């Protein structure tokens, strides 16, 4: 029996929309992994639109004594995708809505994003978060999923592919082979939904297979 912790952003969630791209709970990669480790104890923490530091801090605060055998982390896109405005600027704009009607309509304007390239989390702080997390869970085998998005996401978030590359390099420098490369496999099965970020059932299936192969290899080498 193993203790398995899964930390993710919204990409690991089921999807009920659009109807033609529906993904049921039992088709998501965390569920598929759970199905293969039926006798294990699982804890999954999933938040939409969350930065890695906030996601990891929840686990550090409540589960640092649990000592999972495996930890799967799927986070980073929300840290590195370019924005038109900072989080503080968004709060001000939304709070004083009547004074900024035009700006509110342009919170995700392509041209503003391309010009300003605001990041929610700096590379320095992203790196710091990962190192802190690994230090707290030093006895666990941690697998981190590669940050990915369909190439067409560049039409929505200009500059995003460059930032994804840079932040993946940060993960790679720290975790080496424990960064699970998934981009090619997702592309091979056309694994993205039309929003270019979330995955269809084929995407979830192929990622679950990559993770399961890594987990089984680790178990075999430990025995």
Smallest CA-to-CA distance from 34 within 53, 16, 12 is with 12
Block residue for tokens 């269809």 = 200
Residues of the chain with CATH 3.40.50.1110: 3-82+121-222
Helices of type H across 5-145? 29-36, 52-63, 77-80, 87-95, 101-105, 110-116, 123-136
For residues 12 and 9, give the distance between their C-alpha atoms in angstroms, rounded to a whole number: 7
- Name the pTM for this structure: 0.91
pLDDT of 100 reads: 61
* CA R_g for the chain: 18
β-bridge partners, 73: 7, 144
Question: Is 3.40.30.10 the CATH number for 3-82+121-222?
Answer: no
Tokens of 21: 């791209």
- Tens-digit pLDDT profile for the chain (223 aa)? 899 999 999 999 999 887 888 999 999 999 999 999 999 999 999 998 999 999 999 999 999 999 999 999 999 999 999 987 777 777 777 777 665 666 666 677 778 878 888 899 999 999 999 999 999 999 999 999 999 999 999 999 999 999 999 999 999 999 999 999 999 999 999 999 999 999 999 999 999 999 999 999 988 887 6
CB 58 within 8 A of CB 20: no
């Amino acid at each position: 029996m193993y203790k398995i912790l899964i930390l993710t952003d919204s990409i690991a969630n089921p999807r009920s929309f659009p109807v033609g791209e529906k993904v049921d709970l039992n088709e998501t990669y965390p569920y598929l992994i759970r199905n293969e480790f039926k006798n294990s104890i699982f804890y999954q923490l999933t938040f939409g639109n969350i930065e890695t530091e906030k996601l990891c801090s929840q686990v550090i605060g409540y589960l640092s004594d649990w000592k999972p055998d495996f930890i799967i982390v799927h986070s980073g896109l929300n840290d590195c995708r370019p924005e038109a405005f900072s989080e503080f600027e968004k709060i001000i704009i939304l709070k004083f809505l009547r004074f900024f009607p035009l700006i509110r309509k342009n919170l995700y304007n392509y041209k503003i994003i391309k010009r300003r390239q605001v990041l929610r989390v700096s590379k320095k702080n992203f790196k710091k978060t990962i190192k802190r997390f690994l230090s707290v869970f030093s006895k666990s085998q941690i697998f981190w999923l590669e940050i990915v998005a369909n190439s067409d996401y560049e039409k929505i978030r200009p500059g995003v592919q460059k930032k994804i590359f840079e932040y993946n390099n940060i993960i790679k420098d720290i975790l080496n082979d424990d960064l699970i490369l998934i981009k090619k496999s997702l592309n091979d099965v056309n694994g993205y939904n039309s929003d270019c970020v979330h995955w269809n059932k084929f995407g979830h299936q192929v990622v679950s297979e990559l993770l399961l192969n890594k987990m089984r290899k680790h178990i075999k080498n430990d025995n």
